Amino acid sequence: MYFKQILDERCGCASYLVASRQSHEAAIVDPSIETQQYEELLRERNFQLRYVIDTHVHADHVSGARKLRADHGAEFCLHESAQVAYPFRPLKDGEELAMGQLRLRVLYTPGHRQELISVLIINPPRSPEPSMVLTGDSLLVGDVGRPDFGGGDAAVQYDSVTRLLRLPDWVAVFPGHFEGPCGRGMCGRPNTTIGFERLYNPLARLGRGAFVATLLDTVPARPLNMTAIEATNRGVADVPWAMLATNPAVNEINIDALETRPPEALVLDVREPQEYQHGHVPGAINIPQADLASRLDEVPRDRPVIAICQGGVRSLRAAQFLIQVGIDRVASVKGGTAAWRRASKAVAVGDTSVEEPRVTETEWMHAGARPSHLT
């Protein structure tokens, strides 16, 4: 057997290439949009791609599955419950895909999403038992996948995680994420074992009620451009450019520079609507980062844009995305709304915002801020 884990440091996702050295048949699980890395492996190893499997319809990165299917004539597989606008091979719980001596067994593990599956890898010449499981966004290292995306259900997630944890201790766990917004408590290691997670994953020790309450308590913000990415993966939109694929430098300003921003500057609050309504910089408009690509026409290209979130991380990534799509007069606020509040500056609540007089852009520059379009 050949097995390769491929980590995407930009979005915190993992994909996998599994192949039989006997038949030279291969499967790729949860491929990213950057398919050249798989092409090189297939060519170097003389593997023929037979299956492309998405464990679910992804919402945080654009899948490369359909491109790989088209380029190689491989079967594109999803769980039978997947709601997409293109044909695929529907998989059922317990079904096995053969690749030479290998068997890929489908384990239906919904919860994060309705159609989520895990994939057990079995090499019968070595053992009749599975040696690995690819868990997608179900069981993670030190955590489990969040259940608040479309079709997710925390109680169903409990049943799926329990099912996974009944596998033998030695089964190696390879999840679909090693960092990012999918789970709050991920360890950052790229793999683990069933036995280790059963003993040390804090969620594995909870009963159903506590498990559900923990997962539904203060869930993380939705990922950057989730709306456009999910629609693309369902086949109802075609916006692969919604993926953040670059790492441009962003001009970061402090809250004093934000307060003395030029009058034409737009303050773009990229937090979730409930965060925005509980208190935001006066005059800021709200476009959650999850909807940014879908509402890009609401972001002006002829004015400076200042992105802000709660602490500065989301706004930085949102600013990078805006620069990527050609809106380069962008800055991000260091410390975000939290820093604004700590400085006892005024906040607005609800959905209304009031424009207040501001100094000119030249005065703002002299105060220490540098608009990105002038750097």
- How many CB atoms are closer than 10 A to CB 81? 17
- Asked whether the beta carbons of 186 and 138 are under 8 A apart, the reply is no
- Asked whether the beta carbons of 139 and 197 are under 8 A apart, the reply is yes
244 φψ region: left (φ > 0), alpha (ψ -120 to 50), beta (else): beta
Could you give all domains of the chain from N- to C-terminal order, each with its CATH number? 2-216 (3.60.15.10), 246-374 (3.40.250.10)
Which one-letter amino acid corresponds to residue 5?
A: Q
Tens digit of pLDDT for each residue in 127-185?
Answer: 999 999 999 999 999 999 988 776 789 999 999 999 999 999 999 999 999 876 666 67
Those residues whose C-beta lies under 8 Å from the C-beta of residue 323, and which sit 6 or more positions away, are 246, 248, 250, 330, 372
Give dist(CA 329, CA 374) in Å, integer: 8
Angle formed at CA 57 by CA 173 and CA 83, multiple of 5 degrees: 135
Beta strand pairing call for 305-308 and 266-269: parallel
283 φψ region: left (φ > 0), alpha (ψ -120 to 50), beta (else): left
Give dist(CA 364, CA 349) in Å, integer: 26
Give dist(CA 184, CA 74) in Å, integer: 35
**pLDDT per residue of the chain (375 residues) written in tens, 0 to 9:** 999 999 988 888 999 999 999 999 999 999 999 999 999 999 999 999 999 999 999 999 999 999 999 999 999 999 999 999 999 999 999 999 999 999 999 999 999 999 999 999 999 999 999 999 999 999 999 999 988 776 789 999 999 999 999 999 999 999 999 876 666 677 778 999 999 999 999 999 999 999 999 988 867 889 999 999 999 999 999 999 999 998 999 999 999 999 999 999 999 999 999 999 999 999 999 999 999 999 999 999 999 999 999 999 999 999 999 999 999 999 999 999 999 999 999 999 987 543 333 333 333 333 334 333 333
Catalytic residues: 309
**N- to C-terminal Cα separation, the chain:** 52
Tell me the three state secondary structure of residue 226. helix
